[in-house]
Amino acid sequence: MLARLGHRLLAGLAVVLGVVTLTFLLLHVAPGDPVRLMLGPRATAAQVAAQRRALGLDASLPQQFATWIGRFGRGDWGTSIASGQPVRALLAKAWPATAWLVTLSLVISYLIALGVGALQAARGGSRLDTLLSVTSVTLFAVPGYWLGLMLVLVFTYWARLLPAFGIAGLDADYLHGPSWLLDRLRHLALPLATLTLIGIGGAARFVRGAMLDTLHQPFITTAQAKGLTPRHVIGWHALRNALTPVVILLGLSLPALFSGAVFVEAVFAWPGVGRVLVEAVRARDYPVVMAAVTISAVLVVAGNMLADVLAAGLDPRVRAHRATP
Amino acid sequence: MRLLLRDARGAFGCMVLLVALVCAVAAPLVTNAAPNAQGDIVATRFVPPLSRDVHGAFHPLGTDRFGRDVWTRLIYGARVSLGVGILAVLVSLALGVVIGAAAGYWRGPVSVSLLALTDFALALPRVVLLLLLAALWQPSTLLVIVVLGLTGWMGIARLVYGEVRSLAPRAFVEGAVAAGARKWRILRRHILPNAMTPVIVAAALGVGNAIVLEAGLSYLGLGVQAPTPSWGNMITSGSDTLVNAPWVAIAPGFALVLVVVACTLLGDALRDVLDPHARG
């Protein structure tokens, strides 16, 4: 198990390194010059050259890359070209907003999806099953930004219930205790609902499939033959066994959820990593893009590994299989 | 095919996609307005759906802030959105089939390096890559197709690899080897046609996915550029006028969801119909 984990860790590291190298190359191969963008069209050649030297952009590509890796490893992520702020501070400020949003929506959507999927499998072929299937396929197909807009239309413009963007109201600094919490929750409601609804669509489809596969297994027939109630069979025997593929999906969907968050953050002006990334890409803000891409690559790899470890924890067969490669 | 149409999901998917494709191809016949024409903007902007503007022209889905007919733009947008989705999947298909087949048929270092490449590409965060590629070069429709194609082939390569690996030791392939057929010919004529089932399913699902991603890129302003209508940039322009003219954003979103649902259902139905084992 440990050797296997070490192997995975190395492979993960290689992927992250690959992503970072690829991004670095893409950024430098692509047309467009951050220095020109910074100084404007009136800059003289001497000014451009001076700025280039100041930013370290005059060195050769491998040299720049090595410098960047060295600094990044030591925790010096550079300063944003666009805003002049340290990249670490920028991302540290944005990170909790995204983490909250993604984690909450992941937990809520999987809890609901487990319930819905189990219910569908229990009532397989019924009208309720069909109805829920159509609903989850539709939710799965809806683009996040459009669903977000529709929720804004209904809850902000028509019902005038919830705020449409930002993480806190203008008066947030003067609020304390319950009213502060309420303000935060009201701002969280729509982005969270958007991400969660989409998450439910994908996960419920998958849970239903996994449950149906499990229900065809002999041990379910045994449990039924023993005279256990259907509720017990579904809730205890089937659900626990169907959980392994679902947990794997959960780990794998972490990066997808992060991508979804990029669009949802754009719609709701949610001050998270996704928005920082989109703005940095638009502005050719090299240091910010590199850091944000590295973080998202780490997230993808971590999600895959988490899925692996969790699956081993849940299913003894997976553990045994690993032990004898 | 008959089996597919008897399946409610398959019939629905086929019908929706057929209608969408016909509308897109025959756009000038379905509507007689021009998608980008801006006439008398002040008098004809924000006409609500199912009503006539001051000049007596009927707008089934209303007009946007430039007085352009939303229905017309939706139909011409279908050309772009469906076209991008289908072409992007064709690019992914070509890449995925070639790489998957090569990895499955030629064992040894070729296989190992191609599989490593696939795993690596699979681990790349797709949306981040899309953002980067689309933002760094001048946004255009062609770029969106290439970028979506380049980031979507890995799943197909995996599928083809698995199929080829399982087909290669079969008797009919060995028969072809014994008959003296060359490797390329065996792969092309004997193995690949038998490996296509899961690929077709993946392609159907992939088209839906590509359409959503294209719309997403266009929504962020990194995809198909105005004034060419695509469903994504129509949603963007509608989001600015959500209060006075919600229909501008609602219509393309509905079209998008409908087509993507159709692709998903068609893919599901195809899998059940083409795979006799799963039919049970």
Nearest CA in chain A to B256: A142
Structure tokens at B49: 């759906």
Q: What is the pLDDT of residue A319?
A: 60
- Helices B192-219 & B126-136 angle (0-180, nearest 10): 60
Q: How many CB atoms lie within 10 A of CB B271?
A: 18
A152 contacts in B (CB within 8 Å)? 242
Contact A297 B125 (CB under 8 A): yes
pLDDT in tens, B37-63: 776 766 677 777 777 777 777 777 778
| Spatial separation of the C-alpha atoms in residues B261 and B268, rounded to whole Å | 11
From the list B133, B208, B243, the residue facing A141 with the nearest CB is B208
| A77 reaches B (C-beta below 8 A) | no
Residue B20, pLDDT > 70, answer: yes
Strand partners, A86: A79
| Spatial separation of the C-alpha atoms in residues B223 and B111, rounded to whole Å | 35
Contact B220 A266 (CB under 8 A): yes
| Spatial separation of the C-alpha atoms in residues B14 and B270, rounded to whole Å | 11
Query: What values do phi and psi take at A86, rounded to 5?
Result: -65, 135
Closest alpha carbon to A187 in A269, A257, A108 = A269
Q: What is the pLDDT of residue A35?
A: 74
| Alpha-carbon distance B25 to nearest alpha carbon in chain A (angstroms) | 24
| B115 reaches A (C-beta below 8 A) | no
Q: In this prediction, what percent of chain B has a pLDDT beyond 90?
A: 10
Contact A18 B120 (CB under 8 A): yes
- Helices B109-123 & A286-314 angle (0-180, nearest 10): 110
| Alpha-carbon distance A18 to nearest alpha carbon in chain B (angstroms) | 8
Structure tokens at B32: 């007689």
Contact B123 A304 (CB under 8 A): yes
Q: Which of residues 196-235 of B touch A (CB under 8 A)?
A: 208, 212, 215-216, 219-220, 235
DSSP secondary structure string, A279-308? HHHHHT-HHHHHHHHHHHHHHHHHHHHHHH
Mean pLDDT of chain B: 82
A27 contacts in B (CB within 8 Å)? 132, 136
Residue ranges of chain A with per-residue pLDDT less than 70: 1, 31-32, 34, 172, 255, 315-325
DSSP secondary structure string, B11-40? HHHHHHHHHHHHHHHTHHHH--S-TT---S
A141 contacts in B (CB within 8 Å)? 208, 212, 256-257, 260-261, 264
Range A114-127 burial, b when 16+ CB lie within 10 A, else e: bebbbbbbbeeeee
| Spatial separation of the C-alpha atoms in residues A155 and A231, rounded to whole Å | 37
Q: What is the pLDDT of residue B186?
A: 81
- Which H or E element spans position A259? helix A239-268
Task: Answer whether A261's CB lies under 8 Å from A101's CB.
Answer: yes
B131 contacts in A (CB within 8 Å)? 262, 277-278, 281
From the list A142, A259, A301, the residue facing B127 with the nearest CB is A259
DSSP secondary structure string, A48-105? HHHHHHHHTTTS-HHHHHHHHHHHHHTT---B-TTT-SBHHHHHHHHHHHHHHHHHHH
Query: What values do phi and psi take at B145, rounded to 5?
Result: -60, -50
Q: What is the pLDDT of residue A323?
A: 45
A145 contacts in B (CB within 8 Å)? 216, 219, 235
| Spatial separation of the C-alpha atoms in residues B209 and B260, rounded to whole Å | 7
ipTM: 0.81
Contact A27 B136 (CB under 8 A): yes
B242 contacts in A (CB within 8 Å)? 149, 152-153, 157
Structure tokens at A165: 């963007």
Q: What is the mean pLDDT of residues B63-90?
A: 87
Task: Answer whether B66's CB lies under 8 Å from B74's CB.
Answer: no
- For residue B103, count CB atoms less than 10 angstroms from its CB and return exposed for 0-12, middle for 13-18, buried for 19 or more: buried
Closest alpha carbon to A290 in A92, A13, A87 = A87
Residue B87, pLDDT > 90, answer: yes
Q: What is the pLDDT of residue B1?
A: 66
Q: Per-residue confidence at B90, pLDDT binned at 50, 70, 90?
A: very high
Structure tokens at B237: 């322009």
Place of tokens 């011409």: B76
Contact B123 A301 (CB under 8 A): yes
DSSP secondary structure string, B83-111? HHHHHHHHHHHHHHHHHHHHHHHSTTHHH
Place of tokens 């629905």: B12
Contact A259 B128 (CB under 8 A): yes
Sign of CA dihedral A193, A196, A198, A200: negative
| A141 reaches B (C-beta below 8 A) | yes
| CB proximity list for B275: less than 8 A, separation 6 or greater | B197, B198
Contact A258 B215 (CB under 8 A): no
Residue B91, pLDDT > 90, answer: yes
Q: What is the pLDDT of residue B223?
A: 78
| B127 reaches A (C-beta below 8 A) | yes
Three-state secondary-structure class, residue B255: helix
| CB proximity list for A11: less than 8 A, separation 6 or greater | none
Contact A277 B265 (CB under 8 A): no
Q: Is the peptide bond before A163 cis (omega within 30 degrees of 0)?
A: no
Query: What values do phi and psi take at B205, rounded to 5?
Result: -70, -35
CA-only gyration radius of chain A, Å: 24
DSSP secondary structure string, B109-158? HHHHHHHHHHHHHHHS-HHHHHHHHHHHSPP-HHHHHHHHHHTS-HHHHH
| B253 reaches A (C-beta below 8 A) | yes
Residue B105, pLDDT > 80, answer: yes
- Claim: this prediction has a pTM higher than 0.90: no
Report angle CA B138, A271, A199 to the nearest 5 degrees.
Answer: 85
| Alpha-carbon distance A177 to nearest alpha carbon in chain B (angstroms) | 33
Compute, in degrees rounded to 10, the torsion defined by CA atoms A138, A276, B210, A140. -10
Q: Per-residue confidence at B89, pLDDT binned at 50, 70, 90?
A: very high
**Residue A142: DSSP 8-state:** S
Nearest CA in chain B to A293: B128
Structure tokens at B149: 């194609």
Q: Which of B131, B212, B222, B258 to mutate to test the interface with A (most CBs of A within 10 A)?
A: B131
Task: Answer whether A311's CB lies under 8 Å from A247's CB.
Answer: yes
pLDDT in tens, B181-228: 787 788 888 888 877 888 888 888 889 889 988 888 888 777 787 778
| Spatial separation of the C-alpha atoms in residues A101 and A272, rounded to whole Å | 9
Q: What is the pLDDT of residue A277?
A: 84
Contact A141 B260 (CB under 8 A): yes
Q: What is the mean pLDDT of residues B131-141?
A: 76
Q: Per-residue confidence at B257, pLDDT binned at 50, 70, 90?
A: very high
B128 contacts in A (CB within 8 Å)? 259, 262, 277, 292-293, 296-297
Contact B212 A300 (CB under 8 A): no
Contact A138 B120 (CB under 8 A): no
Q: What is the mean pLDDT of residues B16-36?
A: 80
